[in-house]
Amino acid sequence: MKVGFVGLGIMGKPMAINVLKNGYEVVAYDRNEAGISAIVEAGGQAGANGKDVAERTDVVITMLPNSPNVESALFDEGGIAEGLSEGKAVIDMSSIAPLASRDFAKRLAEKGVDFMDAPVSGGEPKAVDGTIAVMVGGEQAVFDKYESLLKTMASTVTLVGGVGAGNITKLANQMIVAINIAGISEAYCLAKKAGVSPENVYKAIRTGLAGSVVMDQKSQKIFDGDFNPGFRIELHIKDLQNVMDTAHSVNVSSPFSALAMEIMQSLKAHGHEKEDHSAVAEWYEMVNDIKLQED
């Protein structure tokens, strides 16, 4: 099986390298040359554009920022769809709007091409280690065909439903992470202003009911004031916008997600959009005139 890879940024580059390391031939393309060079250095081949990648491979994986980027990579002139033919497949691993996934699946089905949405959780370190979690939307038979390919990048690969279900699961993940970071930041501010060290609070409660992977991964960054990404604020705003659009389309109210998005939007308005999403703690510092770092 020859694998195409389009989108070689923070996540896509290490994921494509893990596919290569597992013995697959990889043809890769990104509109940024640096990503392609990294894959060629690792033993892959350079594609001229999406069409060329799709012509030379059996299945194309995309790892792009949001729905409009995936639509453009698939359907623009010289895009992936032009190189696809019956029996090939596209696996979109980007985090995008579930309704967009369903639309792309329908348009590709007209060419006899299979489609799955397979967004990931875990961030860059897990993408490098090949231990991301993949949540897949698609048909069982298509999943069975590509499960071992997806396992070259991941520790868990779970089929959660039909096309779009992968991105709905990812939105649920992003709601929980955003609200959790805001909750942790709010609690640490209370502790600090009331005279208790946030680090001591963390140590005392991390193994209790309030503890979480988010608390373990983000607390030290908050205590160090180190907001290098990681997962950028601007990408989390994109996910929460997709949460709100999807929630309203199925007539669901999601007030905490809306609030978390507006906090991140306020950080963006202050120029913090390239920082890690743990910088939500900075917003709490601003509104409370406080620093969470140890004195």
Active site residues: 170
The CB-of-238 to ligand NAD minimum distance in angstroms stands at 7
Contact 116, 163 (CB under 8 A): yes
- Given a contact cutoff of 8 angstroms between Cβ atoms, the answer to whether 283 and 267 are in contact is yes
When the beta carbons of 4 and 7 are compared against ligand NAD, the nearer one is 7
Please identify, using beta-carbon distances, which residue of 44 and 198 lies nearer to ligand NAD.
44
Please say which residue, 8 or 100, places its beta carbon nearer to ligand NAD: 8
Minimum gap (Å) between residue 111 Cβ and ligand NAD: 19
Among the listed residues 201, 231, 222, 229, the one whose alpha carbon sits nearest the alpha carbon of residue 284: 222
By C-beta, is 180 or 198 nearer to ligand NAD?
180
Q: List interacting residues with ligand NAD (CB under 6 A).
A: 6-12, 30-32, 35, 63-65, 69, 72-73, 94-95, 120-121, 123-124, 231, 235
Contact at 8 Å (CB) between 230 and 123? yes
Task: Give min distance, CB of 44 to ligand NAD, in A.
Answer: 15
Q: How far is the CB of 185 from ligand NAD (least distance, A)?
A: 19
What type of residue sits at position 35? G
- Tallying the residues shown for the chain, one arrives at 295
Spell out the alpha helix ranges (H) of 80-232: 80-83, 98-109, 123-129, 140-151, 165-193, 198-205, 213-224
